[in-house]
Structure 1
């Protein structure tokens, strides 16, 4: 079966897609602090890597195998990124600058379960309200939609906090109270 070149190319392609997807997922798990899960994923990853690389090295004289390996690697990166998007591990902090004071953006977001801190800000063109919103990453896109619906001209900047400590909101999220 492995002597059929089309089958060999497909096997190498699929093995490398799986390997790189595992590799990307492991890296993200490591960065997010999931050490033990990352270690387990890395054990599976290395077995898949050895199998895929072994197939290519055993058949190095066939250029289609090398191309399949490279294409599988690229597709694997894309697949790994999609997996990471679906996992949506961790939190996101969103800074919002709004010029529309009469919209009670902070209250609306708090009513939805988001942690919101506000303060007065002063921009080049006048007074503003600044909001800092903390949410699990799985609610990130929903948060953007809510902000844009309430204030289409809001200025939004998002980033991932490395450390979160204290506050009532984090405890509520860990107990699963957000968006129930």
Structure 2
């Protein structure tokens, strides 16, 4: 079966896509502090790696195998990154500077379940409202959308905290009090209808 060049190229390509996908996920799990899951994933990763590399090294005279190996590596990086985005492990901290300190920004975000610390600041063009918000990564895009709806001119900076300890944020965020955008909008519509 491995004598057929097309089958050999396909096997090498698939093996390397799977290997690099596992490698990418393992690296991300390690960075997120999930070492035991990362160790478990690495067992499959190395087994697949040895199989794929062995096939290529046994057939170094076949340039298509080397090309398939390299192509599989590149595709594996993309696939692993997509899977990591879907998993959305960890938390993100978002710093927001509102152009209008009079907007009830903090209240609106807290009503949606986000932990917000805010303070008044002074920028080049006058007073500002500065906020720091912690959210699980899976709610990151919803948070950005909410911020843009409240203040389209808001300045946003986001980063992943290395370690989180204590405070109101962690308790509330871990309890998943954050309401997704669609669920919150539906709830607000139902409340408005009842009030009428």
Residue 178 of structure 1 deviates from its aligned partner by 2.8
Structure 2-normalised TM-score? 0.89
Partner in structure 2 of residue 14 of structure 1: 14
> What's the offset of the Cα at 1:171?
1.7
Shift of 1:125: 1.1
Task: State the shift of 1:94 in Å.
Answer: 0.3
1:98-177 alignment to 2 at 5 Å? 98-177=98-177
Partner SS for 1:96: strand
How far does the alpha carbon of each residue in 1:71-114 deviate from its partner, in whole angstroms, 9 at most, with x for none? 00000001111111011111000000011233211111111110
Please tell me the root mean square deviation across aligned C-alpha atoms, in Å. Answer: 1.1
Provide the residue aligned with 1:71 in structure 2. 71
Give 1:69 shift: 0.3
Separation in 1, partners of 2:171, 2:95: 21
SS in 2 for 1:49: helix
Question: Hey, which bits of structure 1, 4+ residues long, moved more than 6 A?
Answer: none
Q: Any unmatched runs of 5+ in structure 1?
A: none
CA distance in structure 2 between the aligned counterparts of 1:118 and 1:33, rounded to whole angstroms: 29
Q: Which runs of 5+ in 2 are unaligned?
A: 181-196
CA distance in 2, matches of 1:177, 1:126: 34
Distance, in Å, in 2 between the alignment partners of 1:178 and 1:118 is 18
Q: TM-score, normalised by structure 1?
A: 0.97
**How many residue pairs are counted as aligned between the two chains?**
180
Query: Counterpart of 2:82 in 1: which secondary structure?
Result: helix
